[in-house]
Amino acid sequence: MLPSELLIARTMQGRVRPVFVKPTPELRSLAEGIMGAFSAGIGRRRAEVAGKVREFELGSFDFRLVRGLQAILERRCTYAAASGADHAAIRRSAFTMSSGCVTDGGARGRILEAVGREHGIGPDRVEPLLWGDLDDEKVLASFTPMAVDDLLASYNLSLAQTLLFRSSSLEFGVSGMWKELFRRIKRLGLMYSVSPSGASYVVTVEGPASMIRLTERYGTSLSKLLPLITSAGGWWVRAQIVSRRFGNSRLLTFEMRSEDGVLLPAAPQRAEEYDSSTEESFARRFNSLGSQWRLLREPDPIPVGTAVMIPDFAFELGGGRSRVYFEIVGFWTPEYLERKVEKLQRLRGWDGEMLIAASSDLGPAERLPGKVIPFEKEVPLKPIIDHLEERKRRIVARESAAISPAVLPLRGDVVSLGEMAKSMGVLPESLAEAMREKSPPGYSVEGDLAVSSKKLGQIDRALSGVRSLDDAAKILQGEGIGDPYPVLRMLGYRVVMKGLDMRGASIERTEWRPA
Pick the most confident of 110-119, 175-184, 279-288, 338-347: 279-288
Q: Which residue has the higher pLDDT, 362 or 179?
A: 179
Neighbours of 282 (CB within 10 A): 24
Neighbours of 71 (CB within 10 A): 15
The per-residue pLDDT for 9 is 92
Neighbours of 7 (CB within 10 A): 21
Domain presence at residue 157: no
Looking at this protein, which amino acid is placed at residue 325? Y
Domain presence at residue 440: yes
Strands 354-359 and 322-329: parallel
Domain end marker among 395, 416, 450 = 395
Q: Are 460 and 451 a contacting pair, CB within 8 Å?
A: no
Are residues 339 and 366 both part of a single domain? yes
Q: At 432, is the secondary structure helix, strand, or coil? A: helix
Are residues 374 and 420 both part of a single domain? no
The per-residue pLDDT for 341 is 67
Number of H helices, E strands in the chain: 17, 21
Domain presence at residue 104: yes
Burial of 342 (0-12, 13-18, 19+ CB in 10 A): exposed
Q: What's the whole-number mean pLDDT along residues 348-377?
A: 72
Domain residues for the domain of 109 are: 83-131
Domain presence at residue 98: yes
Element (H, E) at 178: helix 178-188
Neighbours of 223 (CB within 10 A): 21
Residue 144 binned pLDDT confidence (cut-offs 50, 70, 90):
very high
Are residues 409 and 488 both part of a single domain? yes
Are residues 384 and 462 both part of a single domain? no
The per-residue pLDDT for 81 is 74
- Name the CA radius of gyration of the chain, rounded: 36
79 Cβ contact partners less than 8 Å away, ≥ 6 residues apart = 46, 135, 138, 139, 140, 141
Task: Report which of 429, 448, 428 is spatially closest to residue 490, judged by C-alpha positions.
Answer: 448
Range with the poorest average pLDDT among 146-160, 238-252, 282-296: 238-252
Domain presence at residue 101: yes
Q: Are 150 and 241 a contacting pair, CB within 8 Å?
A: no
Residue 515 binned pLDDT confidence (cut-offs 50, 70, 90):
very low
Structurally, the chain folds into a number of domains equal to 3
Are residues 421 and 387 both part of a single domain? no
Are residues 365 and 439 both part of a single domain? no
Domain presence at residue 346: yes
Neighbours of 87 (CB within 10 A): 19
Element (H, E) at 80: strand 77-80
Are residues 390 and 298 both part of a single domain? yes
451 Cβ contact partners less than 8 Å away, ≥ 6 residues apart = 413, 414, 415, 443, 444, 459, 481, 487, 490
Are residues 409 and 476 both part of a single domain? yes
Domain end marker among 363, 395, 427 = 395
pLDDT in tens, 399-424: 888 887 766 777 888 888 888 888 88
Strands 313-317 and 294-297: antiparallel
Beta bridge partners of 324: 315
Range with the poorest average pLDDT among 31-35, 209-213, 294-298, 353-357: 209-213
Q: E strands, 346-434, where?
A: 354-359, 371-375, 414-416
Q: What's the whole-number mean pLDDT along residues 438-450?
A: 79
Beta bridge partners of 143: 77
Are residues 436 and 493 both part of a single domain? yes
Q: Are 156 and 18 a contacting pair, CB within 8 Å?
A: yes
Alpha carbon distance 359, 84 (integer Å): 56
Alpha carbon distance 257, 112 (integer Å): 62
Residue 290 binned pLDDT confidence (cut-offs 50, 70, 90):
confident
Are residues 433 and 455 both part of a single domain? yes
Domain end marker among 374, 395, 416 = 395
Strands 15-18 and 302-304: unpaired
Q: Are 485 and 513 a contacting pair, CB within 8 Å?
A: no
Burial of 218 (0-12, 13-18, 19+ CB in 10 A): buried
The per-residue pLDDT for 63 is 93
Domain presence at residue 329: yes
Task: Report which of 290, 301, 302, 299 is spatially closest to residue 320, judged by C-alpha positions.
Answer: 299
Are residues 462 and 499 both part of a single domain? yes
Domain presence at residue 386: yes
Beta bridge partners of 243: 250
Task: Please report, rounded to a whole number, the percentage of residues in the chain having pLDDT higher than 70.
Answer: 82
Are residues 481 and 438 both part of a single domain? yes
